Structure 1
């Protein structure tokens, strides 16, 4: 009988492996140059005084195989919270064992359990494997929406009130 992944909430002791998985995702997405995650930043953001996100780790045959990092958002139209999946990553050598599916099913369960109206995420348009996977799970692209982002100096400039 094939193994199934063990899912568990991350703990502060998992910070180094969470960072390692984030770096693996950054490599896969060809964005390693943009990855600034450190153990200290993750410790503060995930397990500090005000945790901003949650992490579920997937273990396969005794090793951490992947993760899902998520946080709550809010739908004004539904007047309900939602879950935003920031990252879902399975180590390339361990793909094909149902680990990504288990993580996504788990998050859907968490969303339903917490009374959320939706579970959503973004995917790079070139990542056809991920797109196929998500569509197989019942997800549909929201093509009418365009994501905007302000970071770095542009964020600081905007915060100063200068246009």
Structure 2
């Protein structure tokens, strides 16, 4: 854990600050997102029965970042892995260690659950984040594809 950064599960009183962070994440990736979409994701991460789970990072007494993750089956290796769907740190808190602390917390969750890997994707031009990712994880050779439905 990074000094001055506390990672924890989101609490009901975090909704507004989490919503601002998540809206910032959507804006960073130029994804149109509505308040009702954020409500849906908030309900997912607050529901222990839902596959998507969340963590938040506090720094300086404020929510500074968020991470959303979930388990996924890995049939070829007959294991379960963890997928880090969303990771975002408020621009004012970048360099605080919040992103690294969130990744470490997701890794610890994966280790506790017996997952074989934590996997995520990022934009090719997300250079600042990739600097961290290159330090804490192994870049793979895989190329991703989407079929829009």
TM-score class, shorter: 0.7 to 0.9
Q: Which has the higher contact order (CA 8 A, sep 6+)?
A: 2
Contact persistence 2:58–2:64 (CA under 8 A): yes
* Aligned 1:8-157 pairs, distance under 5 A: 8-29=8-29, 31-32=30-31, 34-38=32-36, 39-48=38-47, 50-140=49-139, 142-150=140-148, 155=149
Contact persistence 1:45–1:51 (CA under 8 A): yes
**Rounded Cα–Cα distance in structure 1 between residues aligned with 2:34 and 2:73:** 27
Give, in angstroms, the shift of residue 69 of structure 1: 0.7
TM-score w.r.t. the length of structure 2 is 0.87
Contact persistence 2:44–2:53 (CA under 8 A): no
Contact persistence 1:70–1:83 (CA under 8 A): yes
Contact persistence 2:53–2:69 (CA under 8 A): yes
Contact persistence 1:57–1:68 (CA under 8 A): yes
Residues 82-132 of structure 1, C-alpha deviations (whole Å, 9 max, x = no match): 110011111011111111111111111111110001000110011111112
Structure 1 gap segments, 5+ residues each: 156-163
Paired residues, number: 147
**Rounded Cα–Cα distance in structure 2 between residues aligned with 1:13 and 1:42:** 16
Mark the structure with the bigger radius of gyration. Answer: 1
CA RMSD of aligned residues (A): 2.0
**Structure 1 pair 149–132 and aligned structure 2 pair: CA distance change class (3 A):** farther
Give, in angstroms, the shift of residue 36 of structure 1: 3.4
TM-score w.r.t. the length of structure 1 is 0.80
